[in-house]
Structures are given as C-alpha cells and as structure tokens.
Structure 1
Amino acid sequence: MDIEERIANNLGKTFKMAAEEMKREISGIKQMYLVLMVQHERVIHVKAFRNFDLATYYADSLVMDQRGVTNEMPDWEDGDYRNVFTAPNGISIMIEPCDEPEQIDSRFQAHKYGVNIK
C-alpha cells in the first residue's frame, strides 16, 4: 500500500468515526440527514444525505488525493465547527447532522448554494 492509499484510508476512518459518533448522539431522531458543506476557493457546495455511508463516501472522494487534514476553521459564519476538516489544498468539509430538511436551509443558508438530498 503506497502513501496515497494510506492517507485515503485514514481520511475514510476520520469521516466514518465522526459520522458514527453523531449516530450515537442522535439515535432518538427518526429521520436524519448528514449535511456536508464543502468549501474550496470561497465556493461552498452543500449536500445533504439520508444515508451516513453514502455521505462519508462522498466526503472521502472529495479529499481522496489530499495529503492529510487539519481542523482549521473555514470562513463559515454559522454552525458547529467540531466536525470540520480542511485538506492542504484548501478544501474544507463540515459534516453536520440535521433532523429536518428545513434546518438545512435555515442553519446553513443552503438555498443559496443548492441542496441535493441523497
């Protein structure tokens, strides 16, 4: 296994652990969305997923070829930053649970960027 594969595996574990932790915290909520906010060069893309595995796979694919992540806070004005990961090339990903699609709009102003519920 080369260095890129090891980094990709570690990133996958990072996102997977964060998602699993959220699942434990919010186990009482019936319908759950995992919201990924991706910032790169001041452009924010928002995607919301009903499926945690699909969300973590999507997050992994965005930073698969990066050489590690840090917990630097991006330029988002609102939100909880405990689950923010920033890759060295400037891509930032925030994963955040929401139990109502309307919260995605109100909490992240996602209507400006287009939310795709997967």
Structure 2
Amino acid sequence: MEDKEEILAIERSIGYILRIGVIVSAVIIVIGMLLLFIQPSAQAVPNNLPMIIHGLLQLNGEAFIMLGLFCLILTPVLRVVVSIFAFAKEKDYLYVWITVIVLVILVIGMSLGLVEK
C-alpha cells in the first residue's frame, strides 16, 4: 500500500512539474509581449543565452519571449529526468534505461540544434 502511495506522489509531482513549467513559460511570454507593445524593439532577436540575458537586463520583450520558449522546451526534458528517478524508485530498471536513452536523444538533438546555427 505504501508503494502505491509513493508512486502516486511521484506521478503527482511529475504532473505539477509539467503544469508549473507551462504556466511559468506562459507568464514569461506574456510579460515579453506586453514589453513589446510598450516598447517595440529594433534590436536583433536574441538567439543565444548571452544575448537573452543581456536583453532581459534591458527589459527587451523579445528576450523575455525567447526565455519563455526556452523554459517551455525544458519542461518536458525535466519531466524525463524526474521519470528516471521515479522508475528507479519503483525498481523498474528497463524503463530507467529506456528513459535514459530518451534523455540522451533529447540532449543530442538539442546539441545538434545549437551546432546548426
């Protein structure tokens, strides 16, 4: 009985991670849109982390939107990481390895996306 409660708690926490990630991303994107309406930007769209950070410090709306999109992309990746620990706690090692492979594929895909620039 205790194991089922732990599994339910883990599943709830995964659901919370997804909800919170989407809500935080949406709030950041809406802030960026409001900043763009208040102060349109003539700068280049920030497309790397240093440019995003610099734009955030200058209250650039496009930088906020890019940060929100970045958070939105990282939300399912965080879910995969938490799932690895959840499967390990359940001692379901086949799914641990499958989820690790999925995480490796996600990391490779994001890395290739950075190189393609």
User: TM-score with structure 2 length normalisation?
Assistant: 0.33
Higher relative contact order (CA 8 A, sep 6+): 1
Q: Greater share of strand residues, 1 or 2? A: 1
Greater Cα radius of gyration, structure 1 or 2: 2
